[in-house]
Structure formats: C-alpha cells, structure tokens
Amino acid sequence: MKLNNELKIKEEANLLFLILAAIFIASLVACNLIFQKFFFWNPLGLYAFELSVGILPYPITFLVTDIISEIYGSKRANQVVTAGLIASVFVLGVVSISMNVPATAWSPVDNTTFHKVFGLTGASVAASMLAYLLAQYIDIRIFHFWKNLTKGKHLWLRNNGSTIVSQFVDTAAVLILLCATGVIEWSKFWSLLQNGFLFKVIIALCDTPFFYLATYLLQKRFNLKPGEELVV
C-alpha cells in the first residue's frame, strides 16, 4: 500500500513537472513570435507603458522556473531552460523554412504579409536566446543562493530577488542586441529599458502570492518540508 502511494505521488510529480515545462516552453516560444506588436498601458493613469506584446507571457517563464527550482531543484530547472532553448531554435527553423516556400495565388496570407509578421523572428530569437540563457541561469543561481543562505525560509526574498535581478539583465541584454542588429532604433533603448524593466518588476511582485500558493500546495501534496526538494 505504501509502495503504491509512493509510486502514485512520483507519477503526479513527473506529470506536474511536464506541465510546468510545457507552460514554460509555450510562453517562451510565444514571446519570440509575437514581439513585433507594441501597445500602450496606463494603469490607473499613473504611468504610461510602451511595451512589446512579447513581454506579456515572458514573466511566466521566471515564475515557472522559480516553482521548479523550489520543488524539484536547480538541476531540473536548468533542464527546462535548455529544453526551452532547443524548442525556440526548432521553431525558428520551421518559420525560416515557411518564409522561403512560395505562397499560392489563393493563399489567405501572401509572401509579403507573412514576411512582415515573421521576418524579424530570426533576429529576435537570436537576441532573445542569448539574453534568455544569461538571465535564466542567473535567476536559478541567485534563487538557490538565497535558498541555501536562508535555509529554505523567506520565499519572497528568493522569488523577487532572483527574478528582479535576472529580469533587468534580460531586458538590457535583449535590447542591446536588438538595437545593435538594427531591429530597434537606439533612440528607443532607454525608454524601452525603463518600461520593460518596471513592468517586469510589477509583475514579479504581483506573482509572489501565486508563488507562495503553488509552493504551499505542492509541499503539502508531496509531504515536503520548507526548503526540501523532490527526488524524481
């Protein structure tokens, strides 16, 4: 009976890991496909943000890696980051092939429209991937540094501390690369850096309750002590 229960918990843990990894990869790929559209957001009339829609799903990737880091450990979190890189490169290959095959005369989306929407995907993915790898690995390393230092306590500190630092690195790095390759004008750099980083900080603070809730529920389900990690 005990063995069956342990196997059931292990299966649930593996399934949850796959679901979290899928959410992470889907969010990451979506960022790189939709980034060319920009929008305004003025919450309560306090501050006017000018942002790429690609930024909307991106904070989810850091929340997911923090949850995986907390429950499954840094090794599993690094595996998801690597899988996300492979998925993004694969999607880039598919998009590149799609742009190079000619559209039929009756195609609802012609070559020009398709290229206008996806033509900068290669540049965005290249810039995003370099920034992504740097930021995600920094996020995981800082997260576990604070986790070890606080002996598994102060979830808010490692969640926000790791995310805020890594999000600044990511925002700055991707904008430098996009401006250097001519995708975005340098005149937009500081405003996009300020807007992007401030938006990510707000989202990082807002996702803290969700991180606490997820950690509480998963620790309870898998009988984990604070700071303890699953071995699956």
Burial class (CB in 10 A: 0-12, 13-18, 19+), 64: buried
State the CB neighbour count (10 A cutoff) for residue 174: 29
What's the pLDDT score for residue 110? 93
Structure-token pair, residue 132 = 């992504």
Pick 84 or 158 by higher pLDDT. Answer: 84
What's the pLDDT score for residue 207? 85
Q: Is residue 227 part of a domain?
A: no
What's the pLDDT score for residue 101? 92
User: Which pairs with CB-CB distance under 8 Å and at least 24 residues apart come from 192-196?
Assistant: 192/50, 192/51, 192/52, 195/49, 195/50, 195/51, 196/51, 196/52, 196/55, 196/171
Q: Is residue 44 part of a domain?
A: no
Q: Is residue 230 part of a domain?
A: no
Pick 36 or 223 by higher pLDDT. Answer: 223
Q: Is residue 79 part of a domain?
A: yes
| pLDDT mean across residues, the chain | 84
- Give per-residue pLDDT as tens, 53-71: 888 888 888 889 889 988 9
Q: Is residue 226 part of a domain?
A: no
- Give per-residue pLDDT as tens, 184-196: 788 888 888 888 8
Q: Is residue 228 part of a domain?
A: no
What's the pLDDT score for residue 17? 95
pLDDT over 70 percentage in the chain: 94
What's the pLDDT score for residue 2? 59
Pick 39 or 151 by higher pLDDT. Answer: 39
Q: Where in the sequence is the domain holding 80, given as residue range(s)?
A: 2-39+51-221
- Give per-residue pLDDT as tens, 93-151: 888 899 889 999 999 999 999 888 887 656 666 766 777 777 777 888 888 787 777 77
Q: Is residue 108 part of a domain?
A: yes
What's the pLDDT score for residue 232? 66
pTM strictly above 0.85: no
Q: Is residue 46 part of a domain?
A: no
Q: How many domains does the chain have?
A: 1
